[in-house]
Amino acid sequence: MIFKQLVEVDSSTYTYLIGCEVTRQAILIDPVLDTVERDLQVLGDLGLELAATVDTHIHADHLTGARRLKQRTGCNIVCPRMLELPCADLGVQEGEVFQVGSITLQPLFTPGHTDHHHAYLLETPVHKLAFTGDALLIEACGRTDFQSGDAGALYNSIHNKLFALPDETLVYPAHDYEQRFISTIGQEKARNPRLGGGRTKEDFVALMNGLDLPYPRKIDFAVPGNEACGECPDNVPDEYRGPCVASDQG
């Protein structure tokens, strides 16, 4: 398996490149429009063909690179099936594996950050890797105060789906804001200040409902844009239009 963890610094988003050494096909989990050219360069340097982009959910903090990458490579756009997005080529759901070459992703329905959020489990001969999206972060978790969020549902998702994985499972989140790269299920169960150490569901819900976080700065254009697989809406502010202009010009 070929593996790269890539970062988009403005939204602190991690994109994950996973490639099959035999077929030379690859997927990108949670690509960002701003770093499409970087991702294409990495794929080219590794001699890989992009087969699919796979999003964990409709992001509110950046525009996905899915549409632009499909335009450039012809890859499939993959997202949770329950969204029923007309722009998507394939939908995933728990209980049905998604496979590209030797890469087999097991979708895990993990609502709470959004009502359609999916994490992805990848098993290798050496490790289990959990791509947890915005559900479980390193010593944190995704917000639940907008976009169909539900703190109780997130608690259930993390405890029943993610914390049920073996302790040695590697945790690769969609974001980190303190330049951390990786965790494990065992570490999050023990150390996560929001969810670990046996915190009750009632305490977690009260904590999440009292966070009083600022309004997401990109949500007003990111959500509708990502419902169109990364199309740039007309209301993208000038300060964020650079990647849109580059995309439009091809």
245 confidence band (pLDDT: 50, 70, 90)? confident
**197-220: per-residue pLDDT in tens?**
889 999 999 999 999 999 999 999
Q: Is the pTM of this model over 0.85?
A: yes
Structural domain spans, the chain: 2-212
Burial class (CB in 10 A: 0-12, 13-18, 19+), 66: buried
Contact criterion met (CB below 8 Å) for 121 and 106: yes
Is the per-residue pLDDT at 18 higher than 80?
yes
Contact criterion met (CB below 8 Å) for 123 and 168: no
Length of the chain: 250
Q: Chain centroid to CA 166: how far?
A: 21
Contact criterion met (CB below 8 Å) for 135 and 162: yes
Q: Using alpha carbons, list the distances in angstroms from residue 205 to 113, 145, 155, 226, 238.
A: 12, 11, 8, 28, 37
SS3 state at 199: coil
Burial class (CB in 10 A: 0-12, 13-18, 19+), 70: buried
**62-72: per-residue pLDDT in tens?**
999 999 999 99
41 confidence band (pLDDT: 50, 70, 90)? very high
Distance CA 134, CA 112 (A): 9
**173-188: per-residue pLDDT in tens?**
999 999 999 999 999 9
Question: Considering only the top CATH level, what class is 2-212?
Answer: alpha beta
**77-131: per-residue pLDDT in tens?**
999 999 999 999 999 999 999 999 999 999 999 999 999 999 999 999 999 999 9
160 confidence band (pLDDT: 50, 70, 90)? very high
Token pair of 215 as six digits: 């309004």
